[in-house]
Chains A and B, each alone.
Chain A
Amino acid sequence: MTDVPIQMRQDTTQDTTNERFRGGSPLVDLLSRGGLAIAILAVLVYGSLTSPFFFTTGNFVNVLTSMAIVGIVVVGMTFVLVVGGLADLSVPATIACGAILSLALQPVIGPVPAFAAAIALAGLCGLISGLLIGYVGINPIIATLGVGTIVLGIVQAAVGGVIVYGTNPDTAALVKSRLFGIPVIVLIFLAVAIIGHFVLSRSYWGRWTVATGGNCSAAEASAVPVRAVKAGAFVITAICSGLSGALLGLTLQSARPLVGTGYEFSAITAVVVGGISIMGGFGSVPRAIAGLVFVQLLTNVMVLQGVRTPVQGFVLGLLIAGAVALDVALRKRGGGA
């Protein structure tokens, strides 16, 4: 039922608060638009002032390489958050799936088919989560946690709970090689990011994703296949983390079932710090990656400064809380974005 007064009130307050938001405080405006760029710049300046190693090619290649693996997951996770799917907690399982299968299947079917099969199977896990979330209507947290736990269990049982080692050193060399001085793994990450950005911002599927996250019932009433769109976000994330896991496995030439632990939180942190709303309906891949860059640089600076691990965790935790609080505040001021 459309409530007339709600409508009216929203009309007046939205406009006025928006005026206040835009016209009244250029500082808030600047922070909401360019806050992350400023923060990244600040970390860069601080890092180069305090550590002689920070501003070296070697350090940046390190940062980029460690960013690439989680970055691929971030691209997928962006879709999950934008579609209003909260988070995908099955990432550790799908990464393990990718890492273990890409190594374990090598002797059986060869490196390239193993790589492809690993990603496909991870995608299948995502499809199961997606179907449960989109079509059955199970809460995404519960569904992905459940599917993730089961998949991890199966993977562990399949390899007998031991570490799987690579048998084809050429694949490791390929992943670790460089093109124009840039590690191949970083180039793969950039390619995934560009494709992800294109899909989210330029394709009809991306527009559907944003619309579903913004107002699921309105999207449904606009003939958007919302169930498929929701499910799709989880398939995309699973394929991304499968790829990420496979690359991780090839890089390390060994994979344990718990190889992906923690990646889900790193990815969610990056996306949220990038200013993508946990409520869905808003966000882009470049923003998420900016969040990732900031978090990675900050971590790097903290490591170079010798900040202890618990303190690092504390800082990252504060960062997430701050980003979410800012999202809520901006939503209120912007009139329910």
Chain B
Amino acid sequence: MSAAATALRMRGISKTFPGVKALSSVNLTVEFGRVHAIVGENGAGKSTLMKVLSGTYLPTTGTTEIAGVEVRMRKPADAQRLGIRMVHQELNLVPDLSVAENVYLGRMPRRWGLADKAAMLRETAVILDELGATIDPKARLGDLSISQQQLVEIAKAYAAAPRIIVLDEPTSSLSEHETAALFRILRKMKQQGIAIIYISHRVKEVLEIADDVTILRDGSMIDTRPADGITVAEMIRLMVGREVTNVFPKTPSEIGAPVLKVVALGDSYNFRNVNFEVRKGEILGLTGLVGAGRTELAKAVFGLARATEGRIEVDGKPVVIGSPAAAVRAGIAYVPEDRKDEGIVPSLSVRENISLPVLRKLSRFGRVSMTADRRLADKYTKEFSIMPPDPERRIGLLSGGNQQKAVLSKWLSADPSVLLLDEPTRGVDVGAKAEIHRIIGELVAGGMAVVMISSELPEVLGVCDRVIVMRDGHASAPVDRAALSEEKIMALATGEEAA
């Protein structure tokens, strides 16, 4: 394969669902041996386009050529036969099988009609080695970390000797360290002439790895450019269609007395001897690699998980937090990382979600006051400009960013003095992200104490007043923002001294 040959050419691809035009006349050309990034906000059409490419959707109009030959893919198996492999973010792996069995799932090497386990283990070891991953092919998949599982998913795609690999948000559960490792693998695959399509929200990362960038907005292709001549600001402008001046605006606020104090807290497994305090009007960042114990710590403070040692004080008084209800009484609120699983009840309306933690307060003789309930929902729908501005709409139908705003509203309705935010902007688009930051800024300006867990270092550095870095269950001392840099945080998070 010559490096400049065209792997994929999609021309005039449109996809219409009754009432919605998801894609309108998109052109995409991807070369062998290059990394082609596709960026865009939520709902820009990236996923629909990839579903067309993977054979899940048949386009309404348009043609697809693979290596110069026009093809018509009616089902995912057609795309796989043509050498197209998808690496989904939701991993399509079987936790109870071994790494090797997962890599060869559905196409095990056979000998005399039986699975040839030895060959499978051998081949898997070779592939993992080629990818530079140190994973035991015999290990049970479920015992691996999420990032290792992701590597297995990539190995699985790679083992099929694909011509085109599509990676859908591959780094959303990876730390910066692991992202770097992934990029090494991608570069290796690129050298072998594989065409790589890289879908991501993370603009900076895209510029680091991609050779070409295609920007989608509202189902249309805005532009395709070489990654060299484009800046972060420009790309964001193209994605959102307007200039986002400051990605992480910091609202100045007055810092007051400590509100929440955590003393020697530990759960004897995920985190140990954690000490910190958050003050009125302050945003305390909590960062570190995935698996460092950040979420477990936040859950323990909120009463969703049990701490076995240490104590928690609110306003100088020790509190016992055995359940979320107790945490709410103590003035603590928690916006979970996993919005879909822990943040929203998708079948309920926005209104019913918002009032959930305060239902009892809105009730008299057990009956929920609909007037108070509606008033609350209307207030936040307006204040946070939740779109569409209809509190009766089922929350599951809202976009990620608007769901997150509703989840925030839910907790503000409980009027907490401390707000724990776990990855509050993960999976929301650039515009909504800025808005969530603005809301957080207003909250601290109003005297709330905020603990924000985030893996996104620019966000941590941009928004937080002080930062704690966690590593293997241990927390560093809080460091002032002024004394921090991305390099410093990474050094603390990985335990490696910055060079």
Contact = CB atoms under 8 A, between A and B. Distances in A.
A7 B340 contact: yes
Interface stretch (B40-48, B118-126, B136-144): B40-48
Nearest to A208: B359
Interface of B: 17-20, 22, 42-43, 45-48, 88-90, 146, 168-169, 172-173, 199, 201, 290, 302, 304, 323-325, 327-328, 334, 336-348, 352-353, 356-357, 359-360, 362-363, 366-368, 394, 396-397, 399-400, 410, 414, 423, 426-427
A84 B396 CA distance: 18
B360 to A, nearest CB: 5
Given A4-B172, A15-B20, A215 B328 contact: no
Given A24-B18, A220-B304, A221-B342, A3 B397 contact: no
A136 interface: no
A196 to B, nearest CB: 13
Contacts of B302: 221
B325 A223 contact: yes
Contact of A5 (B88, B360, B394): B88
Contact of A218 (B88, B345, B394): B345
Contacts of A220: 304, 324, 342
A23 B338 CA distance: 32
B20 A19 contact: yes
B341 A215 contact: yes
Given A215-B346, A218-B343, A221-B324, A16 B17 contact: yes
- In the complex, the 10 A-B pairs of residues with the closest C-beta atoms, listed nearest first: A16-B17, A19-B19, A204-B359, A214-B345, A4-B427, A222-B356, A223-B324, A214-B347, A5-B89, A215-B345
B352 A218 contact: no
A316 interface: no
Contact of A207 (B169, B336, B368, B410): B368
A11 interface: yes
A336 B18 CA distance: 19
Contact of A215 (B90, B344, B400, B423): B344
B352 A211 contact: yes
Interface in A83-139: none
B396 A218 contact: no
Nearest to A24: B18
A12 B43 contact: yes
A95 to B, nearest CB: 27
Contact of A203 (B169, B366, B410, B414): B366
A137 to B, nearest CB: 15
B396 A6 contact: no
A211 B168 CA distance: 32
11 contacts: A5-B172, A7-B340, A8-B46, A8-B47, A19-B19, A23-B19, A24-B18, A215-B342, A220-B304, A222-B353, A337-B394
Contacts of A282: 347
A62 interface: no
B400 A7 contact: yes
Nearest to A331: B347
A336 B344 CA distance: 13
B324 A222 contact: yes
A265 interface: no
A11 B43 CA distance: 7
Given A4-B169, A24-B18, A336 B343 contact: no
Nearest to A20: B18
Contacts of B325: 223, 225
Contact of B169 (A5, A20, A215, A221): A5
B293 to A, nearest CB: 15
A6 B199 CA distance: 13
Contact of A211 (B173, B348, B399): B348
A36 interface: no
Nearest to B338: A2
A202 B369 CA distance: 8
Q: Which of A1, A2, A6, A7 has the most CB of B within 10 A?
A: A2
A210 interface: yes
A281 interface: yes
A221 B414 CA distance: 13
A56 interface: no
A35 interface: no
A72 interface: no
Contacts of A23: 18-19
A205 interface: yes
Nearest to B48: A12
A219 interface: yes
A6 B324 contact: no
Contact of B341 (A18, A207, A218, A335): A218
A8 B400 contact: yes
A75 interface: no
A221 B336 contact: yes
B169 A204 contact: no
A14 interface: yes
A202 B345 contact: no
A305 interface: no
A110 B260 CA distance: 59
A221 B199 contact: no
A204 B362 contact: yes
B400 A211 contact: no
Contact of B357 (A24, A203, A215, A223): A223
A20 B18 CA distance: 6
A308 interface: no
Contact of B356 (A20, A198, A224, A337): A224
A217 interface: yes
Contacts of B168: 5
Contacts of A219: 345, 356
Interface string A142-169: 0000000000000000000000000000
Contact of B368 (A24, A203, A211, A218): A203
Contact of B344 (A203, A208, A210, A218): A218
Nearest to B172: A4
Contacts of A8: 42-43, 46-47, 400, 427
A298 B400 CA distance: 45
Given A202-B368, A211-B345, A2 B337 contact: yes
Given A8-B46, A204-B368, A3 B169 contact: yes
Contacts of A205: 366
Contacts of A24: 18-19
A221 B352 contact: no
A229 B47 CA distance: 38
Given A3-B169, A5-B47, A204-B367, 12 more contacts: A5-B172, A7-B340, A7-B400, A7-B427, A12-B43, A15-B397, A16-B18, A211-B345, A221-B334, A335-B396, A335-B397, A336-B396
Contacts of A215: 341-342, 344-347
Interface in A310-337: 335-337
Nearest to B394: A337
Contacts of B423: 2
Nearest to A217: B342
B134 to A, nearest CB: 23
A281 B347 contact: yes
Given A11-B42, A220-B324, A281-B347, A4 B89 contact: yes
A9 B22 CA distance: 12
Contacts of A225: 323, 325
Given A4-B427, A12-B48, A218-B343, A18 B366 contact: no
Given A8-B43, A19-B20, A1 B347 contact: no
